[in-house]
Every structure is written in structure tokens, then in C-alpha cells.
């Protein structure tokens, strides 16, 4: 955790404090046998790390990805811990996943795999213990399967065990777009502070999954000029702005960005180096590294993916005056609405869409406003400032519990 090293020095953290912040509470590795459609059995590997629970039950998504390993899950669970503290929802942090490429599985295989994950983990999760949610390559459908398996095993309804569920099963309005919508509220504040206006502000979005696609659409609707977007295979670019509604339609029909009219084709890597005002990495981690950081021409980076900028790239960006809005703030709208979903499940009373939107805006604006002056008083960039704020809250909770003096 290179980032923590820097903040640890600024805050003069003691060894015990650093240990509490960097050693996960509980780590699980599961082996998940699944009967495939051809009747063979395949064993998949699943992970769950419950990183820190001082501020509340642990919280964090489950991702399906062929290259996932325990170290990634650990970093992402650490970030969830900070994220929940930054936006002030009463959760600790966790993350989980399965090593799998879900596009290679049939619907039935995917359902059996999702349910197998819960059969191995049900003892350790729960509405008051650890609450999973969607992440990369998982969605409300997967959450519904997982919820069903959990409820079958424990023998009662327990909608608060998992968030990001379909509305019909206790999901919340707005959760499907909450990460992206939250990001737009953060960006609104920052753009204001920069003396810019949405109109004419040039935006580039890397990644066209749930987060990338929705933020591109929302910003397009808010009159930002989205000049380039990409998915994992390819990208498209038009200096005069893309019609994102049409891009979504095209991608839905053709399963690809390729062949979109009035746009230049561009690779997923090249897109990061375009000249623009706001660059939005919304795909996977480690996209901006020391190798390409020097070629980034954006004014602002809004980190909608988790951990898209490596710590050594951060140093280069700061030197070049690129303003980075860190993941633990930028993409925290997801977990904020997960918190609202869990609250609604716990009281069994459901809010209207407008109510969720205005509460989300309130949380995001509160976490963003005044950050500029905190950065100045700590003499730190935004990431270090947010780390300081989050670490202070987590350590205070540990202290009150009696684990630190």
C-alpha cells in the first residue's frame, strides 16, 4: 500500500495503527464445484476478504473476472473500507469475486456458480455481518440468484444480505445507475470550483460497462461534450461530440463499438491520451501507470473505476498539474445507494425514486464540498486528503472499541 505509506508519514501513524489499517480481518478462499451443461464438473475459485469492520458490517462487491487474484481482492477491500468512511456510511469494507470469464458460461452455469459462491460463504455473510453487491461483470440478476440461495439456506427472507438487487426483490430505485450518478454530482462541484461549465467541457470515457456507459449517458444529457468512449475491445472518437444515446443503441445491436458512423476508431489504450478536459477511467484497475502517465493530456481525471491510477503514475500526474478526483470519492455513489437499499430492507419501507436521488446528491455533495480547503490545510492532493479523513474515522472507531490507545 504505497499510498498509505505517504499518508502514514504525514499523520505520524504508529506501527499498530498501520497494521490495523493494512491487515485484513478475515480472508476466505472457496473452491466452487459446478456441474457444466455437458455434465462435466468444473471447480472455480472464489474469494472474499472482510477487510475492516470497526465502523459497521463489512460491505463490498463481488466481481467475476478471469484474472482476479487474492491480492487484487485485498486492495479493493481496503479501498472499500476507506470509501465507506469518506462518504460516511456506517460500513466497513470488503470485496469478493470468482476467477471466471462469465461470457464463456451459459446462463444456467452462471446461476449454479453464483449459488455455489453463497453455499460456501453463507456462514460468514449476513445483513449485520458482511453485505455483498455487484461489481465488475456482476449485476442485479446475479444478486437475485445469490439472495435466493442465501434465503433458502437460512430459511427466511433476508433482503438486507445483499444490495444491487432487482427492484422486485427489494432493490432500491437508482441503484442501477448510482455509481455513475454519484460521479456526476462530484464532478459538478469540481467543475464549478474550476470555473468551468458542463457545456463544451470535453469528456473521454474508458469502459462501457454499467459505470462507463451510464456516466457517458448522464454527462451527455447534462450537456457535457463526450468526445470518445471505449469498451474492452475498441473505442470511437469524434472531436465534435458523440451522440451517446445512438452509441448505446449501436453497441446493443452490434455488440461492439465498431462501425459507428461519424467517428474515428481508436484503441482502448489510445483513448487515455486524448486531449480533453475530463478523462474518466471506468474500466479496470492499473490503466494509468508510470509508462503512460506522462502522455495524459486531460485537465481532470475522474476515477470511476477502482484503482485505475497506480501510485507512481499519481506522482507524475501531480507534477504535470493533472487534477485527480480519487476513486474512493468519485465512485462512492454505488455504495451510498447500497446503504439506502439496506436501510429500506431493514425497515421494510421503500422510498420513491426522487427521494433516493436527492439523498444521494446530499451525501455526495457533502463529501465533496470543502475538500479544496482541506487539501490546502493538509497541503496534500485530493487523494492524500481523503485518505487522511478516512483513516482518522477508522482509527477513531478502533480507539473507541478499545483496540488502540
Binding stretches for ligand GLU (CB under 6 A): 59-61, 133, 135, 163, 306, 331, 334-335, 338
| Residue 27: CB minimum distance to ligand GLU, A | 18
Quick one: CA torsion of 315, 318, 324, 328, rounded to 10 degrees?
40
Give CA separation, 265 vs 210, 245, 246, 271, 402, in Å.
22, 18, 16, 10, 57
- The secondary structure of the chain in percent helix, strand, coil, rounded to multiples of 5, reads 50, 15, 35
Q: Measured from the CB atom, is 21 or 305 closer to ligand GLU?
A: 305
Report the Cα 316 to chain-centroid distance in Å.
Answer: 24
Q: Could you give the strand order of the β-sheet that contains 41-52, starting from the edge strand earlier in sequence?
A: 26-35, 41-52, 93-98, 58-64, 130-134
Assigned C-alpha cell, 43: 471447480
| Residue 297: CB minimum distance to ligand GLU, A | 27
Assigned C-alpha cell, 172: 432500491
| Residue 266: CB minimum distance to ligand GLU, A | 27
Task: Respond yes or no: is residue 165 known to be catalytic.
Answer: no
Q: Measured from the CB atom, is 189 or 341 closer to ligand GLU?
A: 341
Q: Measured from the CB atom, is 207 or 334 closer to ligand GLU?
A: 334
Q: Measured from the CB atom, is 131 or 237 closer to ligand GLU?
A: 131
| Residue 303: CB minimum distance to ligand GLU, A | 11
Q: How much is the CA Rg of the chain, to the nearest whole Å?
A: 21
**Cβ-closest position to ligand GLU:** 61
| Residue 1: CB minimum distance to ligand GLU, A | 17
Q: Which residues pair with 280 in a beta bridge?
A: 205
Q: Measured from the CB atom, is 218 or 328 closer to ligand GLU?
A: 328
Q: Which residues pair with 63 in a beta bridge?
A: 97
Q: Which of 25, 74, 83, 95 is catalytic?
A: 95
Assigned C-alpha cell, 307: 484503482
Give which of 226, 229, 220, 205 is closest to 330, Cα–Cα.
Answer: 205
Q: Are 150 and 121 in contact (CB under 8 A)?
A: no
| Residue 335: CB minimum distance to ligand GLU, A | 4
Assigned C-alpha cell, 63: 466481481
Stated length of the chain = 405
Question: Which residues are known to be catalytic?
Answer: 95
Amino acid at each position: 500500500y504505497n499510498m498509505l505509506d505517504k499518508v502514514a508519514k504525514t499523520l505520524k501513524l504508529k506501527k499498530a495503527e498501520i497494521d490495523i489499517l493494512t491487515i485484513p480481518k478475515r480472508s476466505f478462499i472457496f473452491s466452487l464445484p459446478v456441474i457444466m451443461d455437458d455434465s462435466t464438473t468444473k471447480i472455480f475459485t472464489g474469494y472474499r476478504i472482510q477487510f475492516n469492520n470497526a465502523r459497521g458490517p463489512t460491505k463490498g462487491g463481488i466481481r467475476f473476472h478471469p484474472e482476479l487474484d487474492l491480492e487484487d481482492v485485498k486492495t479493493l477491500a481496503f479501498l472499500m473500507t476507506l470509501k465507506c468512511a469518506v462518504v460516511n456510511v456506517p460500513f466497513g469494507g470488503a470485496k469478493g469475486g470468482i476467477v471466471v470469464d462469465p461470457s464463456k458460461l451459459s446462463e444456467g452455469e452462471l446461476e449454479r456458480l453464483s449459488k455455489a459462491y453463497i453455499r460456501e460463504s453463507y456462514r460468514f455473510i449476513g445483513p449485520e455481518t458482511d453485505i455483498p453487491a455487484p461489481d465488475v461483470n456482476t449485476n442485479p440478476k446475479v444478486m437475485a440468484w445469490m439472495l435466493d440461495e442465501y434465503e433458502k439456506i437460512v430459511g427466511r427472507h433476508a433482503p438486507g444480505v445483499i444490495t444491487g438487487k432487482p427492484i422486485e426483490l427489494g432493490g432500491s430505485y437508482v441503484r442501477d445507475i448510482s455509481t455513475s450518478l454519484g460521479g456526476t454530482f462530484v464532478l459538478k462541484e469540481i467543475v464549478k470550483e474550476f470555473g468551468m461549465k458542463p457545456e463544451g467541457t470535453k469528456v473521454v470515457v474508458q469502459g462501457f460497462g454499467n459505470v462507463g456507459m451510464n456516466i457517458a449517458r448522464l454527462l451527455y444529457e447534462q450537456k457535457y461534450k463526450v468526445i470518445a468512449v471505449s469498451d474492452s475491445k475498441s473505442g470511437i472518437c469524434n472531436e465534435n461530440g458523440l451522440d451517446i444515446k445512438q452509441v448505446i443503441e449501436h453497441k446493443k445491436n452490434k455488440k461492439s463499438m465498431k462501425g459507428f458512423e461519424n467517428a474515428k476508431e481508436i484503441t482502448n489504450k489510445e483513448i487515455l491520451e486524448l486531449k480533453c478536459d475530463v478523462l474518466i477511467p471506468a474500466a479496470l484497475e492499473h490503466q494509468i501507470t508510470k509508462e503512460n502517465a506522462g502522455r495524459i493530456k486531460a485537465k481532470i481525471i475522474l476515477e470511476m473505476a477502482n484503482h485505475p491510477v497506480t501510485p507512481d503514475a499519481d506522482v507524475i500526474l501531480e507534477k504535470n498539474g493533472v487534477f485527480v478526483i480519487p476513486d474512493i470519492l468519485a465512485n462512492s455513489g454505488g455504495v451510498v445507494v447500497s446503504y439506502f437499499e439496506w436501510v429500506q430492507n431493514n425497515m421494510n419501507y421503500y422510498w420513491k425514486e426522487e427521494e433516493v436521488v436527492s439523498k444521494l446528491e446530499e451525501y455526495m455533495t457533502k463529501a465533496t464540498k470543502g475538500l479544496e480547503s482541506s487539501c490546502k490545510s493538509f497541503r496534500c492532493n485530493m487523494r492524500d486528503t481523503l485518505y487522511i479523513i478516512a483513516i482518522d474515522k477508522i482509527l477513531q472507531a478502533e480507539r473507541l472499541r478499545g483496540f488502540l490507545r
